[in-house]
Amino acid sequence: MLSIAGLLLVAMGVYFVLLRPPLLPENLRYMQTTLPVMHDSTPGLAYLYAYSAILLK
């Protein structure tokens, strides 16, 4: 039983690190901003915007 819980924890960690998008549409709504405003204020995160633009379409 303990090993199943450990595997579940590892699987959740892999999901959050590798598969989950870094910026969700809910995050922009919570921050009360838009993607262009985020792009202008944090230019070093350009990879994030390309990935998020696909999700927000």
Q: What is the pLDDT of residue 7?
A: 97
What's the 3-state SS for the chain?
CHHHHHHHHHHHHHHHHHHCCCCCHHHHHHCCCCHHHHHHHCHHHHHHHHHHHHHHC
Instruction: Look at the pTM and tell me if it is higher than 0.75.
Output: no
Q: Where are the domains of the chain?
A: 22-57
Q: What is the pLDDT of residue 10?
A: 96
**Cα distance between residue 39 and residue 12, in whole Å:** 29
Q: What is the pLDDT of residue 50?
A: 66
Tens of pLDDT along the chain (57 residues) come to 999 999 999 999 998 888 877 777 788 888 888 878 877 887 777 666 666 666 665
